[in-house]
Structure 1
Amino acid sequence: MIRRSLAALAVVGLLGLLVLAFFDDATHRPVPPQGDMLGTESGESFQAYSERAEKTLLDAPDDQPVYALVTFSEGLTPEEAGEVLASIERVNAMIVQMAAPFPLPEPIAGEDRADVFQRELDRIGASLAGIGNVPTPELIDAAVVRDNGEVLRTLSERERIATVETLPADAAWGRFGVRPVEIP
């Protein structure tokens, strides 16, 4: 009789733990961004955004890397984007056609960033195949990168760069949001 009672209590306790685990938010939802955001704010003009981005860039530290949204003045081919971003320590993601950022790996041996960009564009094109008359993206509009303030300020002076906006040095990958910037 005692064994049956203990077995019944163990089953009820296990079911209770499973119910609690099922309703626990940590098991269901991804961790939300922690408040940092790159890109234009709702209703913000490109001019106002450019001024705000410039201020963040000037405040970026030279002694530690920061995440930044690099918006090109026009869409670039993978080769052009690879050349423009060649001096950057890390390219984390690319943005095409106002879509959410597409995460990118680092190039493997024998490749450069242009190869990584092209492979991702090919993957996007393959995922759109058969949907209908959906154009396949061929140009990169922006990139999320990580480097120090000095390198990013030098990058911002290049002809094909419209804006560079940085986050604080304590921002962590996956913990901030990105809104693409529309160039007028």
Structure 2
Amino acid sequence: MDVIDRWRFIIAAMSVAALVVLITATAGQHHTPPPRLVGDELGRDNDETLTDYVQRAQHGFSAAAPGDEVYALVTFRQPLTAQAAGAVVQNIARVNAFEVGFAPVVGIPEPVKGVNRGDSLVHHITLKQMNPLDVRGLVVHDSVEKLHVLAKNSKVLAIEVLPPDATWGSFAVRPVNVS
């Protein structure tokens, strides 16, 4: 090995040693905090009773301004079939997602022309291999006035609304256990 090769070897060895020292010195200093929900949320808090949730949802709903178009979580008094849930919200402008059982909500497209909401819900719930007999809630989008009409339906337990500036995909939805 000539002089140049020895220097290359020494420089390479020192570089590796410096990299090892740097990695060892900085290990453990880069703890990533656990993800935290930041922003709008729908649904029941973990430590919240069902009664407290319904009261909180009602308070927020009654404070919503007439004329506003909002996203809302519609929670049913008891699990409904997909057909029955679709019938309850047939006159709502948009159904964005469904909640079946205690699974996370699943976003859905609008039904194609000529297909009612119940048939559309059955199709999408079955497609996801979920139980179309266990619809617990729906995320909808419409005017506050239409949601007030919906709230009078005896199958609806609570309607929780978001501020009118909320956008689809920018808020969290937690399940509401009604049992």
Please indicate the TM-score interval, normalised by the length of the shorter structure.
0.7 to 0.9
Structure 1 counterpart of 2:105: 101
Shift of 1:41: 1.1
Shift of 1:152: 0.9
Distance 1:151 1:110 in 2: 22
Hey, which bits of structure 1, 4+ residues long, moved more than 6 A?
A: none
Deviations 1:100-144 (A, max 9, x none): 11101101022111121011121122xx7xxxxxxx453211000
- Preserved contact between residue 82 and residue 132 of structure 2 (Cα < 8 Å): no
Equivalenced residues, count: 144
Correspondence for 1:142 among 125, 137, 140? 137
Q: Confirm or deny that 1:54 pairs with 2:49.
A: no
Structure 2 counterpart of 1:25: none
Correspondence for 1:168 among 156, 163, 166? 163
Distance 2:89 2:132 in 1: 19
Deviations 1:12-60 (A, max 9, x none): xxxxxxxxxxxxxxxxxxxx86411001112000111111000111112
Shift of 1:80: 0.7
Rg larger in structure: 2
Among all aligned residue pairs of Structure 1 and Structure 2, give the percentage whose two residues are the same amino acid.
Answer: 37
Structure 2 counterpart of 1:38: 42
- Consecutive unaligned residues of structure 2, counting only runs of 5 or more, are 1-35
Using structure 1 for the length normalisation, give the TM-score.
0.74
Q: Confirm or deny that 1:153 pairs with 2:157.
A: no
Distance 1:81 1:42 in 2: 25
Q: Letter of the 1:165 partner, please give it.
A: E
Q: Letter of the 1:49 partner, please give it.
A: Y
- Preserved contact between residue 121 and residue 138 of structure 1 (Cα < 8 Å): no
SS at match of 1:55: helix
